[in-house]
Amino acid sequence: MDFVLNKIDKHLDNHRSFDQRMKDLKRKLKELNGLKEDTESIIRTELQPRKKLKAEVQIWLENVERINGDVQDLDGRIGESSALTRGFHGEDVLKSIKEASELITQHGKFHGGLVVDNPQWIGQVLSTTNLSGEAVKVCVEDIWHCLMDDEVQKIGVWGMGGVGKTSIMKVINNQLLKETEKFDTVIWITVSKEMSISKLQKDIASKIGVEFYGDEDETTRAGILFETLSQKSRFVMILDDLWEKVYLERIGIPESYLNGIKLVLTTRSADVCRQVGCRVIKVKPLMEEEAWELFLEKAGCDILNIRGAEPIARSIAKRCAGLPLGIITIASCLKGIDDISEWRNALKELSLRKKSVNGFEDEVFQQLQFSYDRLKNPKLQDCFLSCALYPEDKEIVEEGLIQLWIAEGLVEEMDSMQAEYDNGRAIMNRLISNCLLEVFTEGEHARTVKMHDLLRDMALRIAKSRFLVKAGLMLKKVPDVQEWSMNLEKVSLMGNQWLHIPLEMSPPKCPRLTTLLLSQCNIVSIPEGFFKHMDALKILDLSWNPIKSLPHSLSNLKNLTSLLLDCCEDLGNVPSLSNLGVLRKLDLRGTNIKEIPHGMENLVSLEHLNLDQSKNLNEIPNGVLSRLCCLQDLIVGETLINGKEVGGLKKLQGTLGGRFYDLHNLNMYLEACRGREQPRQFRIFVGDMDFPKFSEVVRKAIVASGRNIYTYQIVLPHDIEGLRIWFCNVDCSEEYPLFSRFILFSIGSFSSLKFLQIYGCRNMKKLFSPNCVPLNLQELRVGGCEQLEEIIASEVETEERGMVITEFHLPQLRELVLSHIPELKSICSAGGVLVCDYLLQIEIVDCPRLKRMSLNLPKFDNVPPSASTNLSLSVRIRPKEWWESVEWDGPQPKSLLDPFVIVLPGDIDGLDIGHCNVENTTDI
């Protein structure tokens, strides 16, 4: 019995001992896991980019995880054991206690932190979104190509807010992390809107593992960064959302003299790219179908199952005008909505620019408005807001927009309209550079811009009650008087077809209204009282309307500075302008007026007067122009003006276009303005009105028609570019070529003359003397001159000159056309040759006595024009027999020109005009 009891007591002791060991194990494990939790908390703080766990810490954590698993397994086995077999696990419990104790002891030996520098760290992986659109993919490829090109070291990714610049660069960033053979480090810095050098230095330091102690100045910090970055030699630094120029050396970023360094910046300002010296890559909005695909992706394809939702959804997507930020934001807000009424309401709110129930526009406009806020200058901001006065998605002609800014007083007033225009152009470039406007078309002399639809919506939100804009909405009636509020500053109803103004319409008092734009509205009439309460009005644009008369209340707009009535073809009279003493611009181009408006002589502030194409206005009476002493632009087309009065307009340095009765009148004008700056552009007509005009390419031209030209009679401006003499009798004997007697005080060589056309001039036998050939001629056309024998005459006889060859150089000549000159014997006298380096077109039509051609042409390939480039030589002749018989005195054999010859049909005239009667010429 005692033996049995002893056995039981021993078993009970073992059982109690086992339970105690299990308690010890659980206590040790709890302590160990507590240390583990503390360790992981510290790791989350210390394990920043460029750091990694110490190997011993990593092993310790793995061992803690292992022992937790072992104890869990042990616990399971013990639970499945009987009371008699539990003790068999005692050794495993003791082993686990020992291991836990060792790990606890080991943890106490961690010193100097839990992490160390990671030499293999390249950069931080960033969260990305899928990129949509073919243009975006091309953009990514272009950026990547630049990064891989050792010759490109600075890249500027430019585009408007919300177009996807940051998303693109995040994708690029992550791709670069895989290019370990190309770059050692990729550094991403998000630049704050209010950038400071100090903050930028701290942000860069934190990314490259540099510590500042807090007391360094900016220069010292720059030195520390420069030293650290220079050691990395192969790195890419991405500065995201940069708003202004950064001086790299001031920050501490090594410049391009170190190989392997790449700087990429994203910005809304092209100026920033240019100032930093970047290769610029522009990110453009999505195409319409690409935008729709992105909208579907974010809103969910389920919307296609909602009856009637697709066309509404497409319209909503289209209003975002390809801006990914707008598309994603709006589509995400509408995701999951299956009520067609909500879709219709969303489109209505977007169209009317009302605050959305869902608030989806807040993020979009907050992003876009940063660009507007960054302009800072209130006048610059107002210039941007004025762009919203034009119809949505409308091409805006740059010149007209700048003139609007000038008229509104948004451009600094200067001593000339040209200087003001140049200032306006600088403002335009600033808006384009900051992605607030986009260049749509760009020609040699004209440029158009467009405003993104969302930017226009934002502008109208900012302007709020200051603007009433219903442009291009096909309105039939002007807005009701209730919409003409006291706070209105600008009203634009332009581009509405058949806009009707009710007879009794008289908007209430608008004391702040300065701009009223009613062009292209097919307005037939305006009520007498319409302008009654618009005392502050500065700009009134009624252009391109079939209006026949204007209300007399217009005469009382004493603050009016711009009155634009161009192309009002039915407008026969204008009310008195006597009271408009501050008017600076009056445009009556293309109207039906028969006489100048009453009181025009009182417009002492007038700077721009346009009466061009007013076909029923024959002349401006004497004494009127002399009163307009501030005129800088005078454009009256074929209306007669007094040369002496025009010459007295000392500020006329912009544009002059008008008709002088005779050459004497032209001389009086040129004499009067001798010694001072001439207009930058002039189109002067002399004599009859029925004559062709030069193209717009020729900015300084004179056309004389139907007048007699006598020796020493014509005076020409020294900078004239185009001259056409049309059906004039020329009193020039054989000894005196026309051009040798053509000028009085201009430069004898006509160095600026590029285009010369002479047709139907009688009694002229020679055109140029050797010392009077215009050296920079690009086009020479002569025709219908019945007695002309030589183009360039010789001053000595052939016998006196012997065998000496005289060369006449016209290095810029592109076209030589000689037509209907029956007595023409030579281009140059015997022994002379005309050297033309770039002649592209020769046209000889009906010149039967021209037996020899003395031309030295440029080198050309033996290829006919139809098979060659646009720069091929063209030889147009008539008749064919003339070409077969003419002698070619040039250095090239005539046979080389045969492939270039085109025989003209019998009814083609070399100057594209028919035969004209030249008998009706008028003496001076």
Q: How far, rounded to the nearest angstrom, does the alpha carbon of residue 376 sit from its chain's CA centroid? A: 21
Question: Model confidence over 735-761: pLDDT tens digits?
Answer: 556 665 555 444 456 788 999 999 988
What is the pLDDT at residue 610?
Answer: 96
pLDDT for the residue numbered 865: 46
274: enclosing H helix or E strand: helix 270-276
How far apart, in Å, are the Cα atoms of 77 and each of 86, 88, 160, 234, 646? Answer: 9, 11, 67, 58, 115
The whole-chain average pLDDT of the chain stands at 82
Query: Strand 51-53 to strand 115-117: parallel, antiparallel, or no bridges (unpaired)?
Result: antiparallel
Q: Each residue of 805-824: pLDDT tens digit?
A: 688 889 999 999 999 999 99
Residue 341: other Cβ atoms inside 10 A: 8
User: pLDDT class for 253, splitting at 50, 70, 90?
Assistant: confident
Side chain identity at 691, as an amino acid letter?
A: F
Handedness of CA 718, 720, 723, 728 (dihedral sign): negative
Give the three-class secondary structure for 631. Answer: coil
Q: Residues 469-482: what's their mean pLDDT? A: 90
The secondary structure of residue 191, as a DSSP letter, is: P
Compare 713 and 538 and report the one with higher pLDDT. 538
Q: Give the whole-angstrom CA distance, residue 97 versus residue 90.
A: 11
At residue 112, the pLDDT reads 65
Q: Which helix (H) or strand (E) holds 298?
A: helix 288-299
Beta bridge partners of 242: 267
Crossing angle of helices 165-176/134-148, nearest 10°? 50
Region class of 495: left (phi > 0), else alpha (psi between -120 and 50), else beta = left
672: CB partners within 8 A, 6+ apart: 643, 644, 646, 647, 648
pLDDT at 130: 75
Amino acid, res. 408: E
* Angle between the N-to-C axes of helices 361-374 and 324-334, in degrees from 0 to 180, rounded to the nearest 10: 160
| Vertex 622: Cα angle to 620 and 626 (nearest 5) | 95
Cis geometry, peptide bond prior to residue 479 (ω within 30 degrees of 0): no
Q: How far, in Å, CA of 597 to CA of 225, rounded?
A: 72
Q: Which residue has the tokens 């717009």?
A: 696
Report the C-alpha gap between 108 and 63 in whole angstroms.
Answer: 15
CA angle (696 as vertex; 563, 426 as ends), nearest 5 = 60
Residue range 479-511, pLDDT digits in tens: 998 899 999 999 999 999 889 999 888 888 889
Q: β-pairing, 185-190 with 235-242?
A: parallel
More confident residue, 354 or 87: 87
In terms of C-beta density within 10 A (0-12 exposed, 13-18 middle, 19 or more buried), how is residue 189 classed? Answer: middle
CA distances (Å), origin 162, targets 284, 329, 367, 719, 862? 10, 10, 7, 50, 56
- Which of the two residues, 909 and 882, has the higher pLDDT score? 882
pLDDT digits (tens, 9 = 90+) for 5-39: 455 455 545 556 777 878 888 888 888 888 888 88
Average pLDDT over residues 708-722: 75
Task: Identify the pLDDT of residue 383.
Answer: 96
Nearest CA to 467 among 398, 539, 389, 524? 389
> What distance in Å separates the CA atoms of residue 133 and residue 454, rounded to the nearest whole number?
19
Distances in Å between the Cα of 542 and the Cα atoms of 399, 499, 558, 688 are 18, 12, 17, 32
What is the share, in percent, of the chain residues with pLDDT greater than 70?
84
Distance in angstroms (rounded) separating the CA atoms of residues 483 and 468: 8
Q: Are 242 and 263 in contact (CB under 8 A)?
A: no
Sign of CA dihedral 588, 592, 594, 599: negative
> For the segment 75-116, what is each residue's pLDDT rounded down to a tens digit?
778 777 766 666 677 777 888 888 888 888 877 777 667 766
d(CA 9, CA 547): 124
Helix, strand, or coil (residue 771): helix
Confidence at residue 768, expressed as pLDDT on a 0 to 100 scale:
85
Number of neighbours of residue 710 by Cβ within 10 angstroms: 15
Q: Identify the bridge partners of residue 540 per DSSP, sorted by sequence position.
A: 516, 563
Q: How far apart are the first and last CA of the chain?
A: 162
CB 570 within 8 A of CB 593: no
Beta bridge partners of 117: 51
- Residue-level pLDDT at 869: 41
